[in-house]
Amino acid sequence: MKIEDKKFVALSYDLYVGGEDGSEPELMEKATEERPLTFVFGMGMMLDAFEAQLKDLAQGDSFDFVLPCAQAYGEYMEEHVAQLPKSIFEIDGKFDSQRIAVDQTVPMMTAEGQRLDGIVLEVGDEYVKMDFNHPLAGEDLHFIGKVLEVRESTDEEMEQLLHPCQGGCQGCQGGCDNDEGCGKGQGCCGNNCD
């Protein structure tokens, strides 16, 4: 069976970045046979350029391709670095120094309700400097791997994909005890669980 729309796919791979200047490429991510990357092809779960490289491969096929940064997470943009008032990170009037520390990734929400992650670059007296670029922005992505499984996706997999928050808190992978706020009366998508 070949990889095509609505097929369940499992992959193992190594993801490398860098090396364009003659230096040794850096291993950034690894999906193993024991912990593969799994997704339903053609449903918007993966980068379009990533899926285009995998289309029509079959179980057992190997792959080795590079996605230029323009086809991956784009160029690194200085305008995606922001200084935010330190007061927005207060809980009960006290700054949350446990979660808001240099190199920590912090989930944030735009005024329009869009979720995005920011990496804390600096904590000052009055502000927190955060980087909202994707961690792999500006990088060409080199994938070397193998197709472990290709099969029809199940009704349950498609239902979860199409309605990820169905069932309130139980719709979250891992239940309500996560850092996203589910344990505080909100589901994984911001729905009230009370």
* pLDDT single digits (tens) 28-75: 999 999 999 999 999 988 999 999 999 999 999 999 999 999 999 999
Q: In this structure, are 127 and 51 located in the same domain? A: no
Long-range contacts of 77-83 (CB under 8 A, 24+ apart): 77/133, 77/137, 80/131, 80/132, 80/133, 80/137, 81/121, 81/129, 81/130, 81/131, 81/132, 81/133, 82/118, 82/129, 82/130, 82/132, 83/124, 83/127, 83/128, 83/129, 83/130
Q: Are 100 and 119 in the same domain?
A: yes
**Is 168 inside a domain boundary?**
no
CATH classification of the domain holding 127: 2.40.10.330
Fill in the amino acid letter for 141: L
The total domain count for the chain is: 2
What is the model's pLDDT at position 158? 85
- Cβ atoms of 128 and 86 within 8 Å: the answer is yes
Domain containing 20 equals 7-73+136-153
pLDDT, residue 167, reads 45
Say whether both 52 and 144 belong to one domain: yes
Smallest Cα–Cα separation from 38: which of 13, 19, 75?
A: 13
pLDDT tens by residue, the chain, 194 residues: 999 999 999 999 999 998 777 889 999 999 999 999 999 999 988 999 999 999 999 999 999 999 999 999 999 999 999 999 999 999 898 998 889 999 999 999 888 888 989 999 999 999 999 999 999 999 999 999 999 999 999 988 888 877 665 444 443 433 334 443 443 333 334 433 33
Position 159 in a domain: no
CATH number at residue 27: 3.10.50.40
Same domain, 21 and 109: no
Residues 100, 148 within the same domain: no
